[in-house]
Structure 1
Amino acid sequence: MAVQIWHFSCVVNAYALQEYAVKVISKRQVKQKTDKELLLKEVELLKKLDHPNIMKLYEFFEDKGYFYLVTEVYTGGELFDEIISRKRFSEVDAARIIRQVLSGITYMHKNKIVHRDLKPENLLLENKRKDANIRIIDFGLSTHFESTKKMKDKIGTAYYIAPEVLHGTYDEKCDVWSTGVILYILLSGCPPFNGANEFDILKKVEKGKFTFDLPQWKKVSEPAKDLIRKMLAYVPTMRISARDALEHEWLKTTDAATDSIDVPSLESTILNIRQFQGTQKLAAAALLYMGSKLTTNEETIELNKIFQRMDKNGDGQLDKQELMEGYVELMKLKGEDVSALDQSAIECEVEQVLDAVDFDKNGFIEYSEFVTVAMDRKTLLSRQRLERAFGMFDADGSGKISSSELATIFGVSEVDSETWRRVLAEVDRNNDGEVDFEEFRQMLLKLCGDTAA
């Protein structure tokens, strides 16, 4: 497919000292109208996805010769290369990786998106640390799906494609099959369906028969094999879902073996969330931009761990119950008596937090929303970051944000006078009818419960 021909560059924003990856696609390679449509569909899908294990897209633009996708930089390389290097993974390491992949898939499936080309080459390691986070990439074959309709396009990669895809009638569980193949390879170093060429491989996939006969499987636990059997169930209706796979005994016990969080980190995270006062739309939009677009992987490593720890069902979102459990867990870690906790008081506070932090009002805290309100205030509200955010809203570079620029921020033709009046009443200290940088800065400090000048 032509849109798969690209090269990557790494650029540094000198103003923010932040690195980005740029996927550059030549328009000469995108000759067919359908190829351009596929590329634009990939961009639209990525814009909608907000999950710690899915590639983050910052910007998309084009000129006469090229399309450009600006994303986060991931320096750890492909999981494929790590497999080649290690040969086999321990159960603990394999569980940590597969749990992250399943979490991303669960989130996608919940949002009616199917990847359709999951393989180690499309799983990147954020960095070179042994416990590096996994990022799912390459959504070129992804699409929206309907629960009542089957997909028919025969697409994917030989080793990882599900048999029902070859038959031309399938649903989102094709992603679970692919992930099951990846798990099999991680634990054994060999694919479950192998052959001398692609034709031979696809014939074996079509039959769907695999074994644990190789010597290395003798050292693998029965629960791990059980999960593989459930993920590689030949009949899709009998195959485990991504969400149910996250609840499997092997993942819950094996991945938990390395699951630890620094108590002060969890405490400061929850304190930051509690202090957030999300009432002002301009301030909330600016803060979300800073949290989602202007933070680096290094800055969010600990928050990522905390988010995944709090996300009990692994769907990539925090709901009311998970927030309540997070509060209780903090009390336990601090050695406090949880039996004396007032559940109704906790519930009331969590509802207030959800109301303030849930920017898109969908009933959940998304990953970017969490990072935005949970990050260390001094880090998030650095002058460099504030200036970049202000510059994004101040489109004409006048040094002030006007009502027309606010309209652009919220994607409307104009902001009604009453809305603008309310914004100015809270922010415009010098009464000039616009918002300058210092007013913008003070607005964000107030929003975060920070009284610092």
Structure 2
Amino acid sequence: MGQCYGKNNLRPQNDDAADDSAVAVAGSADVPPSPLPPKDTPARANPWPSPFPHGGGTVTPSPARSTPRRFFRRPFPPPSPAKHIRASLAKRLGHAKAPKEGPIPEEEAAAAATEQSLDKSFGYGKNFGAKFEIGKEVGRGHFGHTCCAKGKKGDLKDQPVAVKIISKAKMTTAIAIEDVRREVKILKALSGHKHLVKFHDAFEDANNVYIVMELCEGGELLDRILSRGGKYSEEDAKVIVLQILSVVAFCHLQGVVHRDLKPENFLFTSRSEDADMRLIDFGLSDFIRPDERLNDIVGSAYYVAPEVLHRSYSLEADIWSIGVITYILLCGSRPFWARTESGIFRAVLRADPNFDDLPWPTASAEAKDFVKRLLNKDYRKRMTAVQALTHPWLRDDSRPIPLDILVYKLVKAYLHATPFKRAAVKALSKALPEDELPYLRAQFRLLEPNRDGHISLDNFKMALVRHATDAMRESRVLDIVNAMEPLAYRKMDFEEFCAAAISTYQLEAHDRWEDIASTAFEHFESEGNRPIAVEELARELNLGPSSYSVLKDWIRNTDGKLSLLGYTKFLHGVTLRSSNPRNR
């Protein structure tokens, strides 16, 4: 099970190295240890060298670094993204401080008593030994290990399987127990996708939990990357990325966020070059409702999204991880690299990936655009997995496109918007570039329009039901249909659907955004723009009187209508904080 875990920090925290030794991220019980070198290995020995000079990246120096030393007896340590992770990891894994000599303090005794009182009974079958014969170990992680096994009787008789063995002795917190319980629940609930590892059953005894799954004998994606000298050709990379996006789009529609996507967690079914991949290790995964944000920090350092470090994230965090994997596939280097975990976190938060060095100058423009739109630090501007499948780099009109939960979120927001806001996005939809339309057409077809070419609430409801697994019911994805109730009394044609199902933030990441906004504003001027008072505009944006001084700059003095600046800001629903930064 992939986990974040802490180490004892024995050095003073007055520099990056001291600050960073306290956290180690990753490790999977489903797979062998990563062939990457230890974190203290010099950068030149790394199979994926840093694209940044001196291995540090173009990270903006911490404000504390530039503080004049004469004001303080000694400089403050730099703010560390790793510091606030330690408490989260200790809570999840039950790590305690190193024991002191002498009697055990009362709080440690209480913690020990609490551990003994934990209920480690899962209600799984108790006859694992009677059904399976354990073979050799194939992987080891923090909580346990994975072995080959063979069925003794029943449907799996004489069939090879993989068994993830999780030690109950290492489940020292209620959170750790719940992680195991949730992993099994997710594996049971998710079914029906060819790139998802097949779950067979779960067992337990006094010492362990046994999760029986499909055996994938082709090794990790990471091993194949390294065997190819660190990178793939674009055409070969597309085959890998398509499989990753396909299974992740399936998980996201069901309301499951994986939270630990990395090459080690994709296994090939066989040693064949054209073998399919399977996504494994849902130990850090969770169910998530359409409008929910998660705040616990889990994952693997090189693949963690910026918003995870900010403790507010959703499905988009998985998309960032796919962007990192794609970057590695195409150039053989990690986009964010440092000698320490906190250095990696700082690079993730502040540095931009390097697209200047080889082989990027020879890569196609579509490939670079694809990776950039996955590695956008603003999660609102990232493509979804389904949108990525329709990107020009991967587009194939003969390939079926899955349903995207983002469409439901955007249509819900459109239905609850004011008439003025709907007029603004309708104008924007008329300026959409051609490469955005295949995605919208595919989503509209999946809703199966009525004979008159319109869709209603029933179309949205039935489309979700057709694609539902038990996971969708667990994550309560269907609840979003209740928030789309206004559509029960009206219909929507394709033109209005385009207006409802587009994201201004995502379009802003488009390289032609300025042209798109300008064209959209021309449509808005002729069809939807009208005089609007500052007070009314503030109400539209749900802002108070303190915003008036900013909003008045969005309205033309000549006719009282929105200017181009005001139109683009209004599309975003910009808040006062982002519109009016504090004077420094």
Distance (Å, rounded) in 2 between the aligned partners of 1:81 and 1:115: 21
CA deviation after TM superposition for structure 1 residue 157, in Å: 1.1
1:269-295 residue CA offsets vs partner (Å, 9 max, x unmatched)? xxxxxxxxxxxxxxxxxxxxxxxxxxx
Matching residue of 1:386: none
Distance (Å, rounded) in 1 between the aligned partners of 2:308 and 2:275: 32
Of the three residues 237, 244, 262, the one matched with 1:119 is 262
User: What's the % identity of the aligned pairs?
Assistant: 38
CA deviation after TM superposition for structure 1 residue 233, in Å: 1.2
CA deviation after TM superposition for structure 1 residue 37, in Å: 1.0
Matching residue of 1:48: 189
Alignment of 1:229-308 (within 5 A): 229-252=372-395
Q: Is the 8 A contact 2:331 2:358 kept in 1?
A: no
SS of the equivalent of 1:250 reads coil
RMSD of aligned Cα (Å): 2.2
Counterpart amino acid of residue 149 in structure 1: E
Which is worse superposed, 182-191 or 3-12?
A: 3-12
1:310-369 residue CA offsets vs partner (Å, 9 max, x unmatched)? x601469xxxxxxxxxxxxxxxxxxxxxxxxxxxxxxxxxxxxxxxxxxxx943598xxx
Matching residue of 2:455: none
Distance (Å, rounded) in 1 between the aligned partners of 2:252 and 2:142: 24
User: Is structure 2 residue 212 aligned with structure 1 residue 64?
Assistant: no
CA deviation after TM superposition for structure 1 residue 209, in Å: 1.1
Aligned pairs, number: 268
User: Is structure 2 residue 309 aligned with structure 1 residue 171?
Assistant: no
1:164–1:81 CA distance, 2 compared to 1 (3 A): same
Matching residue of 2:409: none
User: Is structure 2 residue 400 aligned with structure 1 residue 312?
Assistant: yes
Matching residue of 2:172: 31
Structure 2 unmatched runs, 5+: 4-92, 94-140, 405-463, 470-584
Of the three residues 13, 19, 29, the one matched with 2:151 is 13
Distance (Å, rounded) in 2 between the aligned partners of 1:312 and 1:365: 17
Matching residue of 1:130: 273
Of the three residues 142, 145, 153, the one matched with 2:288 is 145
Q: Is the 8 A contact 1:163 1:208 kept in 2?
A: no
Distance (Å, rounded) in 1 between the aligned partners of 2:266 and 2:282: 11
CA deviation after TM superposition for structure 1 residue 33, in Å: 2.1
CA deviation after TM superposition for structure 1 residue 110, in Å: 0.5
1:129–1:315 CA distance, 2 compared to 1 (3 A): farther
User: Is structure 2 residue 466 aligned with structure 1 residue 363?
Assistant: yes
User: Is structure 2 residue 367 aligned with structure 1 residue 224?
Assistant: yes
Distance (Å, rounded) in 1 between the aligned partners of 2:158 and 2:233: 37
Distance (Å, rounded) in 2 between the aligned partners of 1:13 and 1:19: 7
Matching residue of 2:241: 98
Counterpart amino acid of residue 266 in structure 2: L
Counterpart amino acid of residue 271 in structure 2: K
SS of the equivalent of 1:42 reads helix
Matching residue of 1:355: none
Structure ID, larger Rg? 2
Structure 1 unmatched runs, 5+: 257-308, 317-360, 367-453
Alignment of 1:210-221 (within 5 A): 210-221=353-364
Q: Is the 8 A contact 1:208 1:234 kept in 2?
A: no
Of the three residues 217, 222, 225, the one matched with 1:80 is 222
Q: Is the 8 A contact 1:119 1:160 kept in 2?
A: yes
Distance (Å, rounded) in 2 between the aligned partners of 1:210 and 1:204: 9
CA deviation after TM superposition for structure 1 residue 244, in Å: 0.5
SS of the equivalent of 2:302 reads coil
Matching residue of 1:448: none
Considering fraction of residues, name the structure with more helix: 1
Counterpart amino acid of residue 72 in structure 1: E
CA deviation after TM superposition for structure 1 residue 252, in Å: 2.0
Superposition TM-score, scaled by structure 2 size: 0.44
Distance (Å, rounded) in 2 between the aligned partners of 1:191 and 1:38: 29
Counterpart amino acid of residue 251 in structure 2: M
1:381-421 residue CA offsets vs partner (Å, 9 max, x unmatched)? xxxxxxxxxxxxxxxxxxxxxxxxxxxxxxxxxxxxxxxxx
SS of the equivalent of 1:249 reads coil
1:6-52 residue CA offsets vs partner (Å, 9 max, x unmatched)? 12221222554311111111211122222111101010001111111
